[in-house]
């Protein structure tokens, strides 16, 4: 096991940021922590990178104890914090050199690992880090986190605030790093990124709701989901919520995701009900659940 988290809890005053969290990450696995702001993702990263002590529980990273072996852990893991933490006044190249030196290595020694990322920012190597665009900053931060060839990589919300194009590029980089044998723990508030991980933990309010592969989480969704649409979205939501058999009603883009309490559900019955509520252009069609549906059902 690359990462073992065993019944870890952490509180800030009265706020329980992590509540009895346990999971394992296998060697070479890409494991995602999926949850909204305030779920406890960053606190967990800080515990696992030995920057915070847990109040209760224990854990290991790369086989090393979080408390006893903290110094060796720091040497062997890479950590990219959610908040941009490089030196804004140093250039791209200076930042990278700085981090290499801190870890007792050189850029040249591990260049192979960062090469395909670094070449993208190399044209700006004399630019100060503070003057880079969001996507460029992320790439530089990733290079700095990799420069000492870590065995385990912690990426805390690497794609937050980044536009879809940079987001896609970033995930392609993560995948390539995984292929090089690095174990990766990545957190994200974007539910659609869950599908890119081998396994995920859905986390909210310091509690893990479920751990499994993304496919299995979707497969275990307990209900049939219907895409419902009509001309007036607000009236549609209100009417569905008022329907006596409704189990859940969630707007989902141009549709509403609807589940029914009954096992024997007839879409025509719902259509007739909605027509009586004076809605027009009604459609009711079965659809596949998403990770977000699973998350909401578990958090309900």
Partner 1 sequence: MEDNKVIEVKGLTKMFGDFTAVSAITFDVKKGEIFGFLGANGAGKTTAMKMLIGISKPTAGEAKVAGFDVASQAEDIKKNIGYMSQKFALYDDLTVRENITFFGGIYGLTRARIKEKTSELVQELGLQDLTDKLVGSLPLGWKQKISFSVSLLHEPKIVFLDEPTGGVDPITRRQFWEMIYKSASKGTTIFVTTHYMDEAEYCDRVSIMVNGKIEALDTPKKMKEQYKAETMNDVFLKLARG
Residue ranges in contact with partner 1 by CB under 8 A:
35-39, 133-135, 160-166, 168, 189-192, 204, 232-235, 237, 250-254, 292, 295-296, 299-300
**Cβ-based neighbour number of residue 25 at 10 Å:** 22
DSSP 13: T
CA 275 to chain centre: 40
Q: What is the distance between the alpha carbons of residues 240 and 252, in angstroms, rounded to a whole number?
A: 14
Q: Which helix (H) or strand (E) holds 268?
A: helix 267-276
Shortest Cβ 114–partner 1 spacing (Å):
23
Four-CA torsion 111, 115, 119, 121, nearest 10 degrees:
-70
Shortest Cβ 285–partner 1 spacing (Å):
14
Contact of 21 with 208, CB cutoff 8 Å: yes
Q: Which helix (H) or strand (E) holds 296?
A: helix 291-299
Between 112 and 192, name the residue whose CB sits nearer to partner 1. Answer: 192
Between 134 and 222, name the residue whose CB sits nearer to partner 1. Answer: 134
Shortest Cβ 66–partner 1 spacing (Å):
27
Between 34 and 182, name the residue whose CB sits nearer to partner 1. Answer: 34
Q: What is the distance between the alpha carbons of residues 38 and 186, in angstroms, rounded to a whole number?
A: 16
Between 213 and 235, name the residue whose CB sits nearer to partner 1. Answer: 235
Q: What does 198-243 look like in DSSP terms, one character per residue?
A: SEEEEEETTEEEEEE-HHHHHHT--S-EEEEE-S-HHHHHHHHHHS
Between 25 and 173, name the residue whose CB sits nearer to partner 1. Answer: 173
**Cβ-based neighbour number of residue 267 at 10 Å:** 16
Shortest Cβ 30–partner 1 spacing (Å):
20
Shortest Cβ 15–partner 1 spacing (Å):
10
Shortest Cβ 167–partner 1 spacing (Å):
9
Between 1 and 298, name the residue whose CB sits nearer to partner 1. Answer: 298
């Amino acid at each position: 096991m690359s990462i073992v988290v065993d019944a870890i809890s952490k509180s800030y005053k009265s706020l329980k940021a992590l509540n009895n969290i346990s999971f394992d990450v296998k060697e070479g696995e890409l494991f995602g922590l999926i949850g909204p702001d305030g779920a406890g993702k960053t606190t967990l990263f800080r515990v696992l990178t030995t920057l915070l002590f847990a109040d209760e529980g224990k854990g290991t990273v790369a086989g090393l104890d979080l408390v006893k072996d903290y110094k060796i852990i720091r040497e062997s893991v890479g950590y990219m914090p959610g908040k941009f933490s490089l030196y804004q006044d140093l250039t791209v190249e200076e930042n990278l050199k700085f981090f290499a030196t801190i870890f007792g290595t050189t850029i040249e020694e591990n260049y192979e690992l960062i090469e395909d990322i670094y070449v993208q920012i190399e044209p700006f190597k004399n630019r100060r880090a503070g003057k880079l665009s969001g996507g460029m900053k992320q790439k530089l931060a990733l290079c700095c986190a990799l420069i000492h060839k870590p065995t385990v990589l912690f990426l805390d919300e690497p794609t937050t605030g980044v536009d879809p194009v940079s987001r896609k590029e970033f995930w392609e980089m993560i995948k390539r790093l995984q292929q090089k044998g690095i174990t990766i723990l990545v957190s994200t508030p974007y539910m659609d990124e869950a599908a890119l991980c081998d396994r995920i933990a859905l986390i909210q309010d310091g509690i893990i709701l479920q751990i499994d592969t993304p496919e299995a989480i979707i497969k275990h969704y307990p209900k049939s989901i219907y895409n419902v649409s009509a001309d007036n979205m607000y009236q549609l939501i209100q009417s569905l919520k008022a329907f006596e058999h409704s189990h859940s009603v969630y707007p989902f883009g141009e549709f509403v995701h609807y589940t029914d309490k009954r096992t024997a559900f007839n879409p025509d019955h719902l259509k007739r009900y909605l027509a009586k509520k004076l809605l027009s252009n009604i459609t009711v069609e079965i659809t596949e659940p998403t990770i977000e549906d699973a998350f909401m059902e578990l958090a309900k």
